[in-house]
Amino acid sequence: MMEDLNVVIAGAAGEGVQTVGEVLGETIAGHGYAVFAWQEFESRIRGGQNSYCIRISEKPANAPAMRADILLALNDDAAVKYGPLIQPDGILIAEKKIRDRMISIPFSDIARKELGNKIYVNTLAIGALAAAIGMNPGILHAVLARKFAKKGDPVVAANRVAAEKGYLLAREGCQGICPWQLPERDTRYLLVSGTEALAMAAALAGCRFMAAYPMSPATDTITFLAENEKEFEVFTEQAEDEISAVNMAIGASFAGARAMTATSGGGFALMVEAVSLAGMIETPLVIVLGQRPGPATGLPTRTAQGDLLFAVHAGHGEFSKAVLAPADAKDIFRQTVRAFNLADRYQIPVIVLTDQFLLDSLFSVADIRLEQYAPEFHLADPSVIDDYHRYRVTQTGISPRLYPGQSLHLVTADSDEHDSRGHITEDLAGTVPEMVEKRLAKHRALKAAIQPPEEVDVEGAERILVGWGSSRPALLEALERLNKNGIRTGLIHFREIWPLPAYRFPEGKAYWTVENNATGQLATLLRSEYGITFAGQVHRYDGLPLTGLYIQEVLQW
């Protein structure tokens, strides 16, 4: 097998591009290979041209590659749009013969005339891809049987016939142009999307309530939890708007349930006042912010890292908050559980910064042990408290937290400035500054708990790439590419963005920030906190994710 194999499935919205990709991905995983898949699609229900890109490797790559060893085009326009991605030794699978290295199969005619329904175009295409890649058709048949099991045996049988037909036709056309083989391996990976990982991690962290208003790319989080709410024991509520959603989450948390909400940039703009409320009444809150290009509606189905500074500075007034930015699906498990634990321990809002690329991509995860991600609860014991002050001043700023009805103690909260019991105060000479200082003391305690950035090959490097969040897989690939070409390069990657940890950048290096935005927001933050000077910056702001090749091409001279 090649070092990695890239398959691109392309077609119009509504033609089943995602279905073909998901079935193919599951079949490849069944062979024991790592699968990474990401989607590139327009913001429309029908029409346009979209793609589903699958990267196959023996070990998880979890980074996109803008190239195609095999391109399956479900219509002529898709073949034209994505044709430039085909590598010199790659092939095209499509209906019409338009190039030398291709397999021409009239999917539509076969589906209608031989199989009786155009709906079988997708399964024909899946079978053709299985032959081109050199897969075991038996594993494909097992995947199709699972997928269509609820529709009954006749549907399962019909799809098996369609897959076999596509497989046989493609195998004939593969002669001399398909060198790939996918022998079965014993290795097994968990195949999970970023959204699924986040939802499962929230349930694992003890989340019992989620309220949200639909806004891509965050919508699928509440959808997945709602579909599995009995199994996960999470109550979900689709609110009438984002303001209601975040306040519902705060209310649930105040009442004693771990709670979260999820949104994108425009929805988060509506939530910002409530972020400040959570800071004032010191109530744990987790907000998942799925970034997409803005401003305003922007590009709803594309990706970006444009809301970092927005998240860090969200909320009027001065109060403590944390901002975390997971790197991939496995990291989402860790950081989501950590978000709930930090929110609970420090009684603060915690923002989990994700993006469309991270949430919608499909990752292969190895060696994940869920017992590592245990929830930590920090509620006070009412039986040992005689005189309860909800906002008692402590050295760390963390006060004993009870919830209403837990005991006979009165739990009071107010969005106005308040005293240690939660009652409104205008004592400007004493209580007001004391409460301000109490809340800010948590920032110092939190800063000490924040993890330092990850360092990779820093010691011997001349040039250091600095990135954050979902760019990590692409940065690691760029690192490998640059070092192979003799450019000694290292990486510093931030997963925990705010508060920034106490950290010292190694001296004598040339630092380059790499970000999926136009203005270099991490660079701005690091300059303000550490006083560091950057030799340059790599930006991508066209709605597509960073890739190792993109970073290499900018940096190599």
pLDDT band at 9 (very low <50, low <70, confident <90, very high): very high
Sorting pLDDT into bands at 50, 70 and 90, what band is 557?
low
Q: What digits encode the pLDDT tens for the residues 463-515?
A: 999 999 999 999 999 999 999 999 999 999 999 999 999 999 999 999 999 99
| Per-residue pLDDT reduced to its tens digit, 154-164 | 999 999 999 99
Q: How many helices (H) and strands (E) does the chain have?
A: 18, 20
The kind and range of the H/E element at 288 are strand 285-291
pLDDT for res 299: 95
Say what the alpha-carbon torsion angle 453, 459, 465, 471 is, to the nearest 10 degrees: -50
CA 528-445-384 angle, 5° bins: 160
Q: Is the pLDDT of residue 1 over 50?
A: no
Decide if 192-372 and 454-555 have a common fold: yes
Mean pLDDT over residues 345-354, rounded? 98
Q: Is the pLDDT of residue 51 over 70?
A: yes
Domain locations along the chain = 5-188, 192-372, 379-449, 454-555
Whether domain 192-372 has CATH 3.40.50.970? yes
Extended strands (E) in 385-507: 454-456, 463-468, 489-494, 496-498
Q: Averaged over 199-227, what is the pLDDT?
A: 97
Query: Quick one: pLDDT at residue 242?
Result: 98
Q: Please write the tens of the pLDDT for every residue from 316-332.
A: 999 999 999 999 999 99
pLDDT band at 99 (very low <50, low <70, confident <90, very high): confident
pLDDT digits (tens, 9 = 90+) for 519-547: 999 999 999 999 999 999 999 999 999 99
For the ranges 10-24, 108-122, 364-378, 517-531, the lowest mean pLDDT is seen at 364-378
Cα separation, 364 vs 29, in Å, equals 8
Spatial CA neighbour of 84 closest among 74, 100, 71, 65: 71
Handedness of CA 162, 164, 168, 174 (dihedral sign): positive
pLDDT given for residue 379 in this prediction: 92
Beta carbons of 178 and 72 less than 8 angstroms apart: no
- If one compares 59 and 281, the residue with the highest pLDDT of the two is 281
Which band of pLDDT confidence, cut at 50, 70 and 90, is reported for residue 372? confident
Core vs surface per residue 464-498: b (16+ CB within 10 A) or e:
bbbbbbbbbbbbbbbbebbeeeebebbbbbbbbbb
Residue that wins the pLDDT comparison between 243 and 44: 243
In angstroms, how far apart are the furthest CA atoms of the chain?
Answer: 86
Confidence of residue 371 (pLDDT cuts 50, 70, 90): confident
Res 2 pLDDT > 60: no
CATH number of 454-555: 3.40.50.920
Q: What is the pLDDT of residue 318?
A: 96
For all residues of the chain together, what is the average pLDDT?
Answer: 95
CATH T-level fold of 5-188:
Pyruvate-ferredoxin Oxidoreductase; domain 3 (3.40.920)
Running DSSP on this structure, what letter comes out for residue 351?
A: E
Mean pLDDT of 142-153: 93
